[in-house]
Chain A
Amino acid sequence: MSILIDGLLAILAIYLALQSLLAPRLSQSVFLFFAFGLALALAWVRLGAVDVAITEAAIAAGFLGVLFLDALRDFSSTISEKHNNTEAIQSSASRKKIKTFLLPRLAFGVGLGLFLLISLEAIWQIPQGGGLTAAAESMLPESGVEHPVTAVLLNFRAYDTWLEIGVILLGLLAIFVTGGIKIYTKPDVVAKDPLLRQVILFFTPVLFLFGAFLLYIGKSGPGGAFQAAVLWGAIGILLHLGGKPVFAMIPRWVGQLVLIMGLGFFLLMGFVFMSGGATLFEYPKAYAGTLILIVETLAAISIAAALTAIYANLNQMKEEPKENESAN
């Protein structure tokens, strides 16, 4: 029975991935991508990785899907026929042209098939190494938390997590540069839609509480900083859509402080304990649990702010070209 569910889920994920690449309209692609992310999240629940499932559903399907949806307004909703309806071109083109098209396509197909076989073989051949489960389990009492994934993320491999917060910040900086420096202008439109206002009023406290719950429960069960950060980031995105962009309303230095808070505190704490003789990101055992909770809270706030800023910045990209065009 469980094999049946797993098999169906695997087929569903493969089907959705194929369809999201083959769908003729861009909007279909994006929505099938949403569905693919959720199917993958279900697969992770089946594999016992609930933390990963929450992260996938929240960040990879949810947040990235929102960014894609936002980008759809930029690009025309149907793919231009010139570029992508190659089959239509082929059928209308002369026979001679089809022959020149056929060979590279055939080679591509065969190559892809061979690649698939090789990767299947490689996956099948990976030896049973035993992994690091036993090592993680023996060190778990010293980590200050009860949930093994949180222990790995914030204690055993804290360096990775610190760099990960940095990568998000780096992505935000890169997007700043791409979109031009002029950001966070106060919008003149305020949400007049009463429904949107009610949605914001209702969801802001719910999202905040649920995020705080996920953050705290990360100590003993699935949950943690990243999952909480996405929920809090959703508050920022909702407020932005409702005409109350958070970053435009607070002073610039406060926004910058919030953005670097998680990264900065993590590093500062690492250096402080390093001066006491420990290695970088090693916690004193007595208050490891408390310190992890503080680091997670600050990191979650920083990541939420960074996600909001990424969305706000991408959302504002569409207004810029008109000024450029008029200047040209």
Chain B
Amino acid sequence: MEAYQIYSLTSAVLFAIGIGGVFASKHFIKKIIATIIMGGGVFLAFVSFAERDALNFADPVPHALVITGIVVAVASGAFALALARRIYQLTGEESFNNEK
């Protein structure tokens, strides 16, 4: 078993954990963390395929895409965090509460 195969399998597991967390966890911060874990799974898949397609060096295009992706994920995570804090300040809720 090659190293990239281990990480490709890990990436699928991480994505599933993330998507489970998005649905199952209640608190805003945990939901945001879950989306970032999902993103981590996707990036890991990209980079493991870059390693598989390596010639003299690993495929640089997925690496560049992943760097871009991480920064975009962080920007959207920061915005989500701002929204969550604003909701908490205005309503005092820390999770989506459907019962009301």
Contact = CB atoms under 8 A, between A and B. Distances in A.
Interface stretch (A15-23, A183-191, A195-203, A275-283): A15-23
Chain B at the A interface: mostly helix, strand, loop or mixed?
helix
A7 B5 CA distance: 10
A266 interface: no
A108 interface: yes
B71 A74 contact: no
A130 B58 CA distance: 11
Interface string A48-73: 11011001100110011001100110
A13 interface: yes
A292 interface: no
B75 A46 contact: no
A52 B43 CA distance: 9
Given A46-B3, A123-B11, A136 B67 contact: no
A155 to B, nearest CB: 10
Interface string B63-82: 11111101111111111011
Interface in B35-58: 36-37, 40, 43-45, 47-58
B94 A112 contact: no
A24 B28 CA distance: 14
B51 A119 contact: no
Given A48-B54, A71-B85, A80 B94 contact: yes
B14 A161 contact: no
Contact of B94 (A76, A123, A170, A320): A76
Given A7-B6, A21-B37, A133 B58 contact: yes
Range for the number of chain B residues in contact with chain A: 35 or more
Nearest to A173: B79
Contact of A14 (B13, B47, B54): B13
Contact of A63 (B9, B49, B74): B74
A75 B29 contact: yes
Nearest to A164: B68
B12 A3 contact: no
Interface stretch (A29-37, A95-103, A236-244, A255-263): A29-37
Contacts of A179: 82, 86
Given A3-B3, A64-B36, A160-B64, A167 B72 contact: yes
Contacts of A318: 85
A84 B6 CA distance: 33
A13 B9 CA distance: 12
A325 to B, nearest CB: 9
Contacts of B15: 119
A25 to B, nearest CB: 11
B14 A14 contact: yes
Interface in A90-126: 108, 112, 115-116, 119-120, 122-124, 126
Contacts of A6: 3, 6-7
A283 B35 CA distance: 37
Given A26-B27, A131-B49, 14 more contacts: A30-B33, A47-B48, A67-B78, A71-B29, A74-B89, A79-B26, A79-B94, A112-B19, A133-B54, A133-B57, A152-B60, A160-B64, A178-B79, A179-B86
13 contacts: A10-B6, A10-B7, A17-B18, A26-B27, A26-B30, A43-B10, A47-B58, A72-B29, A75-B29, A136-B59, A136-B60, A137-B57, A175-B78
